[in-house]
């Protein structure tokens, strides 16, 4: 389906039903304890030329073993922990982040050595609440502007298989953000579990476990990495199909499809949290139902324009081998 036809279809749905194709959670309250500046540069996340994405010394890079698929966009993740504060352990790999933590995730594409930075999503913890905002980068790539209502941007990208695709890249509205970023009706971070950050990273030409590094530099009081579980990289074919499949479902589906997620998604009969027994995920008895939803683009519900063919193949193999 071409971009033009996607736009036409969305317009028809609005005319026929008076709503967007995807309904969002209109019940959860959007936190307002952070007064987001109009320009991303006011946070001082990057030093020097912004498009080089060199973090300020007070922002620490962090990486995930398995990442959310977002139409093949690359991502840089940074976190600011206030001086004297630390990340603390909580239940089942959840991290308790201190007041005034800032997390920023920047999305970009690269082609022939050129980088096109699209957006930076920011979450700030103020008065105990996670506030959400999105900043869209300008054409000159020297700053990004606050946008709360979301928008679509037409882009031509290169997929992992080397094919060119024209997509409607979605900048999520704050309502779309909180629809996914919730647990027990409270806004929360996604992906930043100890399991998903328990991995080796390269820093100053040295390989070191990321969680241990956080302890060394004094921004966390987490347990030593060898005592904690680790999520595999679902792209790593050296890992078992089972572990890769569970990791894929954890990072791409479980933020909504779990017992404490968005009520509409939680009631669909799936629970893809990594800690859930496979027999209770909702896949064991009828895997084809979920595969059809992936094949049709119904899932993921928000945030992508393309069907993740590699992910679909992995989940298909995962269900066939069980």
Say if residue 18's pLDDT is above 50: no
- Give SS3 for 227: helix
Rg (CA), the chain: 19
Omega within 30 of 0 (cis) for the link into 65:
no
Q: Global pTM?
A: 0.91
Q: Are 81 and 98 in contact (CB under 8 A)?
A: yes
Give the mean pLDDT of the chain. 90
Question: Could you tell me which residue, 142 or 254, shows the higher pLDDT?
Answer: 142
pLDDT > 70: what percent of the chain? 92
Task: Classify residue 238 as left (phi > 0), alpha (psi -120 to 50) or beta.
Answer: alpha
Phi, psi of 80 (to 5 degrees): -110, 120
Say if residue 16's pLDDT is above 70: no
For residue 8, what pLDDT band results from cuts at 50, 70 and 90?
very low
DSSP 139-165: TTSS-EEEESS-EEEEEEEE-TTS-EE
Q: By CB neighbour count within 10 A (0-12 exposed, 13-18 middle, 19+ buried), where does 24 fall?
A: buried
As a residue count, the chain comes to 322
The pLDDT tens digits for 192-223 are: 999 999 999 999 999 999 999 999 999 999 99
> Alpha-carbon distance 84 to 185, whole Å?
30
pLDDT > 90: what percent of the chain? 73
Which residue spans within the chain are E strands per DSSP?
Answer: 59-61, 74-80, 88-89, 95-96, 102-111, 114-126, 129-137, 144-147, 151-158, 164-171, 182-183, 186-187, 200-203, 206-209
Question: Could you tell me which residue, 99 or 163, shows the higher pLDDT?
Answer: 99
The pLDDT assigned to 66 comes to 98
Structure tokens at 96: 């308790």
């Amino acid at each position: 389906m071409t971009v033009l036809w996607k736009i036409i279809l969305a317009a028809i749905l609005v005319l026929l039903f008076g709503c967007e194709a995807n309904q969002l959670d209109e019940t959860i309250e959007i936190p307002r304890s952070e007064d987001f500046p109009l320009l991303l540069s006011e946070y001082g996340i990057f030093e020097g030329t912004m498009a080089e994405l060199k973090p300020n010394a007070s922002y620490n890079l962090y990486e995930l073993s398995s990442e959310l698929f977002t139409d093949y966009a690359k991502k840089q993740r940074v976190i600011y922990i206030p001086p004297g504060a630390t990340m603390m352990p909580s239940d089942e790999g959840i991290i308790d982040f201190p007041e005034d933590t800032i997390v920023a995730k920047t999305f970009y594409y690269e082609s022939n050595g050129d980088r096109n930075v699209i957006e930076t999503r920011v979450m700030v913890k103020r008065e105990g609440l996670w506030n959400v905002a999105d900043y869209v980068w300008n054409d000159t790539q020297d700053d990004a502007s606050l946008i709360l209502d979301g928008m679509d941007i037409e882009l031509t990208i290169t997929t992992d298989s080397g094919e060119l695709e024209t997509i409607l890249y979605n900048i999520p509205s704050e309502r779309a953000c909180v629809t996914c970023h919730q647990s027990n009706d409270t806004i929360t971070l996604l992906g930043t579990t100890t399991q998903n950050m328990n991995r080796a990273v390269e820093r100053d030409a040295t390989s070191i476990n990321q969680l241990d590094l956080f302890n060394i530099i004094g921004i966390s009081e987490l347990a030593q990495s060898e005592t904690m579980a680790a999520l595999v990289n679902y792209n790593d074919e050296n890992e078992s199909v089972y572990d890769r499949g569970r990791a894929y479902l954890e990072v791409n589906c479980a933020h909504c499809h779990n017992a404490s997620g968005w009520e509409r998604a939680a009631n669909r009969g799936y629970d893809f949290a990594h800690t859930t027994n496979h027999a209770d995920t909702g896949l064991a008895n009828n895997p084809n139902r979920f595969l059809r939803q992936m094949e049709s683009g119904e899932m993921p519900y928000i945030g992508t324009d393309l069907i993740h063919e590699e992910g679909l193949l992995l989940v298909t193999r995962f269900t066939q081998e069980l």
